[in-house]
Structure 1
């Protein structure tokens, strides 16, 4: 149970970081 929870947290944090990178990248490109 704890293993799947850790995996989900890794996936969530990973996707969040990826979205932030894409957002900041697109913002810089627009500027």
Structure 2
């Protein structure tokens, strides 16, 4: 049970990290123009 909880948290952080990275990258691309 504890392992599945840690896995869920890790997955959530990973997805959030990718989303944040994509969002920041897109904003930086728009600022260049």
TM range (shorter): over 0.9
**Gapped regions of structure 1 (runs ≥ 5):** none
What TM-score does the superposition give when structure 1 sets the normalisation length? Answer: 0.92
Runs of 4+ in 1 over 3 A off after TM superposition: none
RMSD over equivalenced CA pairs, Å: 0.4
**Gapped regions of structure 2 (runs ≥ 5):** none
Give the paired residue count: 31
What TM-score does the superposition give when structure 2 sets the normalisation length? Answer: 0.88
- Structure with larger Rg: 2
